[in-house]
């Protein structure tokens, strides 16, 4: 029993540290835009106090110095598309998670997902819906903010919104009312639902602009342009913004014209939609890893040994079009479809699928995502006055993006959660 209590205290103490004054000394610093050799970063309490060449940064006598030889220091990474209340469907399928697992059970699992995400260097996540777990994301966010559990800063959608008849789970006796993975609303009722979700803690409004409900199971729009405009108007009036799940070309077009700020997935994006995204300053979150993972564990695709499935070929094509057109691309992985803490998988595919340069991928997960979340004056870069959200990895990810897996240091709000030699 004494040994169990001792180990428990160690595990709690590993993350429940106080902020202080730190001088971080890596080999190089990525500030969110550029790489700098020989820089150091001074942290005071929860803010970055200074960053620059070692000779220009003066630290007080009570400063704790953390040397990081061979390491790269970066802003804490930002996950643009996460579902902390979900876990991979090859462990438990989506219908079972939604219909048979209690919200309390799913939240208990989510606390582990949150910790794994933080320890991987992702200090902020935008969570795109609880998928049937109500407003558990709002409660999880509060527990993290109050220091009850370790986890990333959360920006949450709550239940998200779908049109009547479009979303799952499906295939059950129509005499029964089956709980759905999001909240249905249509027409003028969208006003009430948007306001209700805001009142219950949604930081932004997510709408499924299309879904797999075409005659042959294909993705088809699920809201009219006017309905999407209505959602956007109500969201904007509260200081929030609209985010749209949209895979089909027509759903993307409607979402963009309605005022959505980010488009999620975009499986059938083409040159016309790419130009429309650029004209309307859309940030595109391609969720490459979700398609890649699902094709492997649901359809049995043996990556690297078998021909790519059509879904992967389509995804590669649409992503390359977006990259070549100069669309603003954020890092958003749809984590939950694959394991939390493996977020870098998306960044590796951004290089593999679209030929993005490592430095541009690093920007996508820092400065680009911070702006997409309306948080560019708080996180996503290393400069004085911003939150002390920092992570360090062994090696140089600007040469090999997979180096981001070699995490040795994580700090959020000036608190050290991980520090390995």
Q: How far is CA 216 from the centre of its chain?
A: 31
Tell me the helix, strand and coil percentages in the chain, rounded to 5: 35, 25, 40
Q: Tell me if 128 sits within 8 A of 83, measured CB to CB.
A: yes
Homologous superfamily in CATH for domain 77-372: Metal-dependent hydrolases (3.20.20.140)
pLDDT for residue 250: 98
pLDDT for residue 17: 59
pLDDT for residue 19: 75
Helix 288-297 and helix 310-325: axis angle, to 10°?
Answer: 170
169 burial (CB, 10 Å; 0-12 / 13-18 / 19+) is: middle
The CATH-assigned architecture of domain 15-75+382-419 is Roll (2.30)
pLDDT for residue 5: 35
Share the mean pLDDT of the chain.
95
- Distance CA(340)–CA(241), nearest Å, equals 26
Query: Could you read off the pLDDT of 129-175 as tens digits, one per residue?
Result: 999 999 999 999 999 999 999 999 999 999 999 999 999 999 999 99
Collapsing DSSP to helix, strand or coil, 203 comes out as coil
- The encoded tokens of residue 161 equal 């919104």
Higher-scoring residue by pLDDT: 378, 6: 378
Region 26-47 average pLDDT = 98
Q: Which pLDDT band, with edges at 50, 70 and 90, does 377 fall under?
A: very high
Helix 103-119 and helix 136-145: axis angle, to 10°?
Answer: 50
Query: Could you read off the pLDDT of 225-256 as tens digits, one per residue?
Result: 999 999 999 999 999 999 999 999 999 999 99
Is the model's pTM score more than 0.75?
Answer: yes
Position 18 pLDDT exceeds 80:
no
Position 86 pLDDT exceeds 50:
yes
- Distance CA(324)–CA(319), nearest Å, equals 9
Question: Parallel, antiparallel, or unpaired: how do β-strands 21-30 and 39-44 relate?
Answer: antiparallel
Q: Tell me if 389 sits within 8 A of 379, measured CB to CB.
A: yes
Domain ranges of the chain: 15-75+382-419, 77-372
Position 353 pLDDT exceeds 90:
yes
Query: Could you read off the pLDDT of 383-401 as tens digits, one per residue?
Result: 999 999 999 999 999 999 9
199 burial (CB, 10 Å; 0-12 / 13-18 / 19+) is: exposed
Position 257 pLDDT exceeds 80:
yes
Phi, psi of 285, deg, nearest 5: -110, 100
- The encoded tokens of residue 311 equal 């879904």
- Distance CA(26)–CA(45), nearest Å, equals 19
Query: Could you read off the pLDDT of 90-119 as tens digits, one per residue?
Result: 999 999 999 999 999 999 999 999 999 999
Residue owning tokens 């590993």: 14
Query: Could you read off the pLDDT of 196-236 as tens digits, one per residue?
Result: 999 999 999 999 999 999 999 999 999 999 999 999 999 99
- The encoded tokens of residue 148 equal 């009850």
Measuring CA to CA, which residue among 335, 351, 354 is closest to residue 343? 335
- Distance CA(303)–CA(26), nearest Å, equals 36
Measuring CA to CA, which residue among 178, 177, 231, 179 is closest to residue 205? 231
Position 1 pLDDT exceeds 80:
no
């Amino acid at each position: 029993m004494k040994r169990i209590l001792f180990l428990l205290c160690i595990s709690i103490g590993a993350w429940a540290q106080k902020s202080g004054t730190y001088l971080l000394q890596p080999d190089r610093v990525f500030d969110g835009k550029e790489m700098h050799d020989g820089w150091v970063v001074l942290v005071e309490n929860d803010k970055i106090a200074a960053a620059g060449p070692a000779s220009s940064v003066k630290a007080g006598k009570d400063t704790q110095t953390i040397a990081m030889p061979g390491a790269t220091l970066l802003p804490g990474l930002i996950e643009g598309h996460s579902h902390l209340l979900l876990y991979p469907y090859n462990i438990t399928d989506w219908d079972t998670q939604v219909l048979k697992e209690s919200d309390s059970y799913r939240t208990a699992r989510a606390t582990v997902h949150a910790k794994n995400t933080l320890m991987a260097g992702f200090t902020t996540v935008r969570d795109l819906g609880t998928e049937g777990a109500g407003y558990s994301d709002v409660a999880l966010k509060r527990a993290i903010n109050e220091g009850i559990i370790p986890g990333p800063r959360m920006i949450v959608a709550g239940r998200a919104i779908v049109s009547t008849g479009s979303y799952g789970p499906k295939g059950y006796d129509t005499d029964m009312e089956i709980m759905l993975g999001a909240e249905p609303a249509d027409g003028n009722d969208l006003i009430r639902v948007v306001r209700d979700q805001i009142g219950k803690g949604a930081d932004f409004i997510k709408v499924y602009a299309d879904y797999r409900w075409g005659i042959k199971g294909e993705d088809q729009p699920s809201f009219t342009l006017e309905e999407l405009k209505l959602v956007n108007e109500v969201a904007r009036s509260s200081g929030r913004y609209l985010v749209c799940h949209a895979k089909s070309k027509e759903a993307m077009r409607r979402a963009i014209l309605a005022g959505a700020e980010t488009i999620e997935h975009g499986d059938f994006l083409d040159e016309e939609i790419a130009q429309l995204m650029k004209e309307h300053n859309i940030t595109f979150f391609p969720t490459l890893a979700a398609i890649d993972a699902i094709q492997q564990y649901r359809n049995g695709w043996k990556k690297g040994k078998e021909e790519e499935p059509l879904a992967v070929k389509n995804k590669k094509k649409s992503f390359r079009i977006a990259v070549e057109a100069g669309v603003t691309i954020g890092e958003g992985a749809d984590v939950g479809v694959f394991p939390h803490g493996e977020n870098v998988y998306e960044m590796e595919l951004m290089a593999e699928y679209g030929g993005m340069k490592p430095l541009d991928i690093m920007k996508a997960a820092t400065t680009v995502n911070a702006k997409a979340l309306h948080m560019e004056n708080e996180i996503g870069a290393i400069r004085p006055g911003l939150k002390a959200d920092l992570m360090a990895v062994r090696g140089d990810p600007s040469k090999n993006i997979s180096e981001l897996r070699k995490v040795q240091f994580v700090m959020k709000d000036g608190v050290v959660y991980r520090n390995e030699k």
